[in-house]
Amino acid sequence: MSLSAERRRNLTLSIPPEASNIFYQTEHNHHEKITNARITKAQEKRISMLTRILEPACSEPFYFLYITAKDGTATDDKARHDFKKCLLHINKMSPKPAFIVLCGGFIDNEMCDEDDVLARKLYLEEELSCLDQRIKVLHVASSGDFKSCLSEDSIDKYRLCFGDDFYEFWVRGVAFLVVNTAYYTGQLEGAVLAMKSEQNDWIDSQLLQQQIFQAKRTIIFQDSVPSGGKNENLSAKDMDKDMLEDLLIKYNLAGVSHLLCRQNPSFEKDESERSGLEILPNEINDSDHWFVKLVKISSDEVLHESFNLQGLPEQVYL
């Protein structure tokens, strides 16, 4: 046997787990009929099919939908009917959104036994059953997802239902971070305080990584306002304003381009523009239960527009 042949025989190829998964997934999906959508669960603080390795920088533009709901929406029959109409409309959109992000009252803990995690998960996925499964659906934790209080038990049950409550993912070279602002409400102790510290350390690490790996831009999703603004679910004394303001400073220093939240921040728009961080709240008025923000991303800019049920286009021009 020649030396070169011997070297080839001894050569081993190491494939990252997420890369080997996509080979299987591609082959599996080739034979799979399009069925119901499901929540894409984050594990190990990431979405395994949306990583930096699998989603390198690309010049092709894309868009996503950020859908927010008032707390209690899940108990309103008309709101649920409208949400289904919205999902059916999304199926017709061309091109399809790269992903959908849900935040807010799409599921009400009061409707299910707090201990019946599977029932809660199945309830939301029943709502999503009409959506094309090729559209990834991601979830942002809000204070309403943890019922009356934030505890180690309620966080563990949330993670069983939806996956990790803070995580990162990449799409075409753009880095996205999902932050759980429920940690900045009330007084925390013990294991929950440790979880909050873990998230804070993770945010610092992720913001550094996005700079090292030169993400085209970094975009953050979170429920609560970033600087102690109005929140209909929390009194001023319960909101950890200092910590949320510290987060905003971190985002600014790290060059985060956009922050999407569910409610309107209290600071002035001019302040946001001067900092370089654009904050995009989904402001839901009294007559609506939910709202949609359509965000287009190209190599040069981020464009966004808000919709209720009426007006969401079928044809999206990128």
Question: What pLDDT, in 10s, does the model give residues 40-80?
Answer: 999 999 999 999 999 999 889 999 999 988 776 766 778 78
Side chain identity at 245, as an amino acid letter?
Answer: E
CATH entry, 15-307, from 3.40.50, 2.60.40, 3.60.21, 2.40.160: 3.60.21
Tell me the two tokens of residue 116: 């019946």
Going by their DSSP bridges, the two strands 167-171 and 136-140 should be labelled as unpaired
Side chain identity at 56, as an amino acid letter?
Answer: P
Question: What pLDDT, in 10s, does the model give residues 17-40?
Answer: 444 444 334 434 433 344 456 789
Q: Mean pLDDT across the stretch 171-176?
A: 96
Query: Of 251 and 107, which is predicted with more confidence?
Result: 251
Number of neighbours of residue 204 by Cβ within 10 angstroms: 12
Peptide bond into 95 cis (omega under 30): yes
**67 close to 290: Cβ distance less than 8 angstroms:** yes
**120 close to 162: Cβ distance less than 8 angstroms:** no
Tell me the two tokens of residue 270: 């001019």
Of 63, 61, 98, give the one whose Cα is nearest residue 305: 63
Cα(198)–Cα(143) distance, integer angstroms: 18
pLDDT at 304: 94
Looking at residue 111, the DSSP 8-state letter turns out to be G
pLDDT at 143: 78
Three-class SS state of 91: helix
Tell me the two tokens of residue 25: 């997934």
Q: Mean pLDDT across the stretch 107-114?
A: 55
Q: How far is CA 101 from the centre of its chain?
A: 5
Going by their DSSP bridges, the two strands 290-297 and 278-281 should be labelled as unpaired
Q: Across the chain, what does the average pLDDT equal?
A: 78
